[in-house]
Amino acid sequence: MPESPTNSSLEIVIDNTQDAESNSESDLLSELTVERTTGQEIGQDNEIDLDSEIYYENRELSYFKFNLRVLNQAKDLRHPLMERLIFLLIFSSNLDEFFEIRVSFLKKQLDFGRQRPGPDGKYPEQILKELHGQVREALDEQYRILNEDLLPSLAEEDIHFLPRHEWNDELKEWTRNYFDNEILPVVSPLGLDPAHPFPRLVNKSLNFILSLDGKDAFGRESGLAIVPAPRSLPRLIKVPSELLPKGDNFIFLSSIIHAYVGEFFPGMTVTECHQFRVTRNSDLEMTNVEVEDYAMALQGQLHRRRFGAATKLEVGMNCPSELTNFLLERFNLTEDELFRLDGPVNLQRLMALTGMLDRPDLLFPKFSPGMPPALEEGAYIFSAVDKEDQLLLHPFQSFLPVIDWVRQAAKDPTVLSIKQTLYRTNESSELVEALSEAARNGKEVTVVIELRARFDEEENIHFASILQEAGAVVVYGVMGYKTHAKMLLFVRRVGNKLKRYAHLGTGNYHRKNSLLYTDYSLMTADETVCADVHKVFQQITGMGKKIHPKLLIHAPFNLRKSLVKMIEHEELVARNGQSAHIIAKLNALTDPAVIKALYSASMAGVKIDLIVRGICCLKPGIPHISENIRVVSIIGRFLEHSRVYYFKNSTHTVYCSSADWMERNLSNRIEVCFPILKKKHISRIVDELNLYLDDRYQSWELQADGEYIELEEEASKDSDGGVQSKLLKLLG
């Protein structure tokens, strides 16, 4: 368990002024070098090569294990039935993005002959081979869960998905009318011949491949055709209650198209009809492009995303090999990249079901996020923050105070300027409205919008336009570095002086996500912190030499170096015979330099607890290497998104950040890491970390062989609902 901060003489200050930082680091490293080169035990440590590939897990394979833990939630009978279905669909969505980005990256290395092994020593060709096998097994399991578990359980709740063989005459007539009136007018069937080459099919779109017998009106006899299902049509159709009054009844669009597909080809015979879906490379490469207008250049790239190189082909289970071989050839894919599915190939479109049912009994109970008394509705937030820092943990505590703060600032005549970063925000963003209002009210509003927030690029371009029309200054960050930091800064006139206020967070300014993701928010008027936030904004929007914040640590400049330094300081404390402890709560841990420092600290006796939701390339529990390291992953109702770092012997023992311990965050993104300054907030965060470390209800523990063990198997099945339920009770 993490203990209260000590007053050890070995405490280290992460001072970001250039001279102090250099001297402090030099003194620390020289001390540590002496410690590492004296004594029998430490001499033995030096014989171990911590760069060896045997100590590192592959990033892609680790991510896929995370997605398997998500899939496992669909089997968990403790979750409400519809929530289990949602977990099943999240698995599909995650898998699509994985193939669109990470698998595409591996394939690109193969295509260009640029294979490079990672710290784990594996080459892309080997990783892809392992992944394809694991994905195939997982998809078989996913559809088994759907067909043998979830669909029968939904049927017991009078929620039915009606296959064609269950349609009665009345339903056949209704589906035929639906086909004639809703589908036939908008579908464009594509016969394949020299004048009609294989079409460019949109990423992840639902399509059908057909074998045909006979000749058409022009005497053509190609034998093959493609029927694309327009994206404007719903994939799930509810049967009117007057037809089937009992329960809720649904039919898949694919079933109706399949039933009447022959109507697209009058006078010909459809001998085979099978659904298929292709997933494509969706990454955008803009880093080194020299453009005058970045937003305009990005808009041009967005269209290409829909037609990138193929990475995965999914077909119905019974699609014959002659048709799958034809598709594989057209998409330039191999047999390993073909996946046969025992059900709809566009399964995640089932998510629409949540909006088509009124069955709250099949969902997690609704909850009301808690609200600190100082921030309750109607409170003047500047006054509350003047009195003391406010710390919120979403979704257990409401995100509305952050939105209300911007709204109040937009109307407050004492507020002179507002600066904010936006990475992702919700579709009809209240924050964009409030910032626009502030600009129209004559305040200096500057917004750093990251246009490259993956899959939100188009929306962010739209928000940028709205803000610019309102008179706000909009910048797109720094070319080559994503602006991922979550910062909000107000400048307000108080008497004859200007005073700054800041919000710093671990998650996006996204109200909807704040109800689903766990994240910390700090609202502060601390002069040093606010001055540091101002410096970071100045660096992003302007130009100049490297800045040196006093309390904030920021990437890509010194976050990795500072993290390693704090880890090494805990190691030094342990080598001097004192208690040392590190806790980190992260989405992912992949950075080799940080992992190596953690291994070294573990070897010195530092207790290290890592709460890593997703990717973890570190291997815990290796004798003499990482036996003092524990790694757990929490999977539950809310997405564990907060990043918190605890170093027992640092001057500031607790930091929160927007950054995971990944190469991309530490090297290629603008991130901020901020200390928690108030003792009561430090104690609170430590207590909350303890809850995560003690959890045995929704926790998985990583083993030395890279596999995860679900801890609930050793715990009571009727326990109190795990850490997220406890936090809801404490803070909600």
First to last CA, the chain: 25
Q: Name beta bridge partners: 701.
A: 632, 709
Q: Which of 396, 361, 374, 343 is nearest to 151 (CA)?
A: 343
Is the separation of the CB atoms in 355 and 250 below 8 Å? no
Q: Check residue 549 and give left, alpha or beta (phi > 0: left; psi -120 to 50: alpha).
A: beta
Question: What sign has the CA pseudo-torsion 721, 723, 729, 732?
Answer: negative
CB hemisphere CA count around 284 (13 angstroms): 25
* Structure tokens, 261: 């597909």
- Work out whether strand 390-394 and strand 517-524 pair parallel, antiparallel, or are unpaired: antiparallel
* Structure tokens, 540: 């992003």
Coil, helix or strand at residue 627: coil
Catalytic residue among 132, 484, 510, 581: 484
* Structure tokens, 94: 């995650």
CB hemisphere CA count around 218 (13 angstroms): 7
- 454 annotated as ligand-binding: yes
Site of tokens 């030099």: 26
d(CA 29, CA 423): 37
Is the separation of the CB atoms in 663 and 642 below 8 Å? no
Quote the Cα angle for 427-429-434, to 5°.
165
Residue 104 phi/psi, 5° resolution? -60, -40
Catalytic annotation present for 484 = yes
Is the separation of the CB atoms in 74 and 88 below 8 Å? yes
- Give the count of beta carbons closer than 10 Å to the beta carbon of residue 646: 21
- 655 annotated as ligand-binding: no
* Structure tokens, 494: 């108080």
Coil, helix or strand at residue 338: strand
Q: Name beta bridge partners: 364.
A: none
Residue 151 phi/psi, 5° resolution? -65, -45
d(CA 142, CA 68): 10
- 613 annotated as ligand-binding: yes
Going by the annotation, the residues of the binding site for ATP are 94, 517, 613, 641
Known binding residues for Mg(2+) are 424, 454
Q: Which residues are catalytic?
A: 484
